[in-house]
Structure 1
Amino acid sequence: MRLLASEQVGSPPPEVTEAGRRFDPFHPDFVVDPYPTLAEFQRSEPIFYSPVLDSWIVTRYATVRAVLRDTDRFSPRIVSDPLTPLCPHARDIIVNSEFDVPGLLVNNDSPSHPHCRKFFGEPLKPQRLASLRPFIEKTVSAQIDRMIETGSPADLAMGLTWDVPALVLFRLLGIPDEDVPQVKEYADSRVVLLWGRPTEEEQIRLTSGALAFFRYTTKLVHSRLENPGDDYPSDVIRQRAGDDSQATIRDIIAVTFNLLFAGHETTSSASANILSAVLSRPEIWAGVVDGSINISKLVEEGLRFDPPVQAWRRLVKEDAVLDGVEIPAGSRLLLHFAAANRDPERFEEPELFNPERGNAGQHTSFGIGAHFCLGATLARIEIETMIRQLAERLPGIKLVPGQQPDYLPNTSFRGLRRLQVSW
């Protein structure tokens, strides 16, 4: 098992400033609404060291963008390392097993990353993903049918945004629909294990779950070796043509394992967040229903306004200066997309949800540069389809008043787990 960033010995901790003392991404108030605090820090200390995370928090749009583009000095290889170091028992579960997920895409550096991205991204080209449109339309329609049949009020997250991205991903990966709950449970667990503050008991349980899911993925890929189908693992296997220099079976298992999480969790969160923002503004929803508001532009503004990926990590490979602050080699960065997306130097009146915003598409929510999200096209298709069909079939839908938002406490992912609506 490769060395984790949490086990590396870096420089002595830097001086902790006022922002660093106050920043607590796990505080309930911050989890519910991080934006006022992030805006304050962006004005007073746009970059600061957080002892809670042993990371430098980066909030300005221009700086986040520059770091993402500079893969020579800032490495992504710590992205999927647990924020909280694994306890000995949890680590032993992994070390003494066949679990093996090397860095290939999101947490990989050059020189291997460009090849891996090209090879594994080939079956995910926009035209291939667009071919899923009929299935997406049918799936969204079926989920809305179930909601209508069950009756008002309903949970829009559980009834629509929770399942649709998973069902589409499962179609892409060739997995039976009945496995949706299992994959979703694992996705929530992985958020807590890698980007949260789990107890040792929770780490042991979650690590055991990760191992079980790795075995599930291994079985899936080997079944496609024997019986190829019309799905992503089969496409990659055919493209490999038995050539380990292109990709090994181990590599294919690792990428499929990560896709089972990244391919749906963020889209589920994005769609719930956007629908919450739109339905809480009846005048905007009315514009969606009557067609005066462009849904594609609305989605871009939603991704900017309340992104499903709030923050992402980088490792500083050599001494650097960011926003006038010296950052030593070996330091960890937490690039706050949520803050960058509301930087007033880039977005005018950033706290306003404006579906007509001309530069909303400049958000950082899918990343920037060499590690831009391969599934961005599919996510946009799914979110737009859900919003359009809801507007057509349930134009009178509205939020149930008085509900309390529910999010998993973690540093990086934000998505409503419940969204009560009536019609």
Structure 2
Amino acid sequence: MHLEPFGDIYGTDPAAVWRRLLDSGEHVAYDDELDLWLIAGHDLARSVLADTRRFSVPALTPMQQLHPRAAKTLTQLDAPPVIADPPLHARTRAALIAVFATTSTRAEQLWADVVRRRAEQLADHLAHQVAATPWPDVDLVELFCSRFPLYVMLDVLGIPADDMSRIAAWADNFTALTCGRLDDDDQISAANGLLALWDFCRDLVVLRAGIHRNWQPHGLIGDLLSYRDGDDHRLTLPETSALVLTLLVAGWESTAAAVGHALEHGLRDRDRWAQLAVDEHYAAVHTEETLRHSPAIDGQLRITTTDVDLDGTLIPAGSRCLVLIGAANHDPRVFDQPATFQPGRARLSQQLGFGAGAHYCVGAALARIEITTALSVLARRLPDLTLAAGYDRRFRPSVSVRQHTALPATIAVRCPVAHGTLPPVAQP
């Protein structure tokens, strides 16, 4: 069984690859080209994600062999592992749970206004760009999808938006280095960028921790420092810095990808786009179906801690396993007609777009608010927005993150007369 994550098919139609893997009936198989065990079925994927005893979450582990200079640079990255296995994971996750709104109600209370404000600002900017551009279309990835969740995450953390451009450049290196396929020069550049992001997060946390205790830094950085309360047994400063880095990277790129998928599904159907502008419930189920049909993170890496018999196949200890979230979400034994985008479908709560078990995404509630708000705000602000003619879907090469390279859109030309009628013919 082969995945070929950097091939043309996976870069344009990953669902076709998932369907091939599922139809083969071999849901646990070794891919010798990737040196990975592939896990494709829904129930198997859920069980592996929930099994932290036999399937460990690795630290920073690039999929490809690194150039020696890139590998040497990464040895300077002394960020402690915070997304790890018990018991360490339980301690750092407890810190996140204490400060992060993990329920929809609490997330709405804390962040709905911030999210809406940023969405409206960028929607207005996009509308002006669409009106002013001398060419027929604009790129939604560049002008909205990438910027919106990063602005939100900076607001949530309490980091000035002035730092957005360099943070975006640094954070992009993490996914490219760990999940992509880079040449030697790009590997070295990405490693240096990732180290720069770590230095930024560490210096920012140390600076704010050293400010007089009577001044409370705002945002989640301040909340984490308050939770820590100077006690390294609760949370160390390096762990606080590593959590900030993790939230920046995970909270930005995966949500940016998800917003792009949700917009593409909305813009492909004029009735959907119109409904998104007026129906909040539809926006919510549209978002949930996007997470099932087109998960932003469609592969999660695990490493076996012991020999594991999975579905009758023996996986040796120390093996790298790629849990295929996309294939799990397209398993026909769980989801009827999985290739069809069908908001409100049965069993939608079983989708694995945010993972499962102890490592279920802490930011799921915030991400859902961001996606639904983006859909509603853009559909109201730009009711005639549509995908550009000749749009050809393509994703960035990655083993794990499914993100559009571009999402060109334009304004649909309204028919000047009602359908089924013709203007009167002038009499000679």
Fold match by TM threshold 0.5: yes
Partner residue of 2:40 out of 27, 37, 59? 59
1:26 aligns with 2:6: yes
Q: Give SS of 2:355's match.
A: coil
Structure 1 residues without counterparts, runs of 5 or longer: 1-18
> Contact 1:74/1:317 (CA < 8 Å) preserved in 2?
yes
**Structure 1's 36 and 397: CA in aligned 2 closer, same or farther, altered over 3 A?**
same
Structure-2 separation of matches of 1:72 and 1:87: 32
The aligned residue for residue 415 of structure 2 is none
**Structure 1's 71 and 372: CA in aligned 2 closer, same or farther, altered over 3 A?**
same
- The C-alpha deviation readout for 1:14-62, integer Å capped at 9, x for no partner, is xxxxx23xx3111122111111122111121222111122111111000
**Where do 1:21-420 residues align within 5 Å?**
23-44=3-24, 45-78=26-59, 80-95=60-75, 97=76, 99-105=77-83, 108-125=84-101, 126=103, 127=106, 130-152=109-131, 153-227=137-211, 228-289=216-277, 291=279, 294-420=282-408
Q: Give SS of 1:132's match.
A: helix
> Contact 1:309/1:413 (CA < 8 Å) preserved in 2?
yes
Equivalent residues, number: 398
CA drift of 1:164 comes to 1.1
- The C-alpha deviation readout for 1:139-188, integer Å capped at 9, x for no partner, is 11111111111225322222222111111110112212122222222232
TM-score norm. by structure 1 comes to 0.90
Structure-2 separation of matches of 1:146 and 1:222: 35
Q: Give SS of 2:340's match.
A: coil
Structure-2 separation of matches of 1:385 and 1:168: 12
**Structure 1's 213 and 385: CA in aligned 2 closer, same or farther, altered over 3 A?**
same
**Structure 1's 76 and 142: CA in aligned 2 closer, same or farther, altered over 3 A?**
same
- The C-alpha deviation readout for 1:191-239, integer Å capped at 9, x for no partner, is 1111122222221111111111111111211221133411111111111
- The C-alpha deviation readout for 1:334-372, integer Å capped at 9, x for no partner, is 000010000000101100000121322311110101000
- The C-alpha deviation readout for 1:224-267, integer Å capped at 9, x for no partner, is 11334111111111111111111111111111112111111111
**Structure 1's 239 and 210: CA in aligned 2 closer, same or farther, altered over 3 A?**
same
> Contact 1:59/1:340 (CA < 8 Å) preserved in 2?
yes
> Contact 1:136/1:168 (CA < 8 Å) preserved in 2?
yes
Q: Please tell me whether Structure 1 or Structure 2 has the larger radius of gyration of its CA atoms.
A: 2
Q: CA RMSD in A?
A: 1.7
Structure-1 separation of matches of 2:374 and 2:277: 13
- The C-alpha deviation readout for 1:120-151, integer Å capped at 9, x for no partner, is 22110242564121111111111111111122
> Contact 2:262/2:375 (CA < 8 Å) preserved in 1?
no
**Structure 1's 43 and 373: CA in aligned 2 closer, same or farther, altered over 3 A?**
same
TM-score norm. by structure 2 comes to 0.89
Q: Percent identity?
A: 31
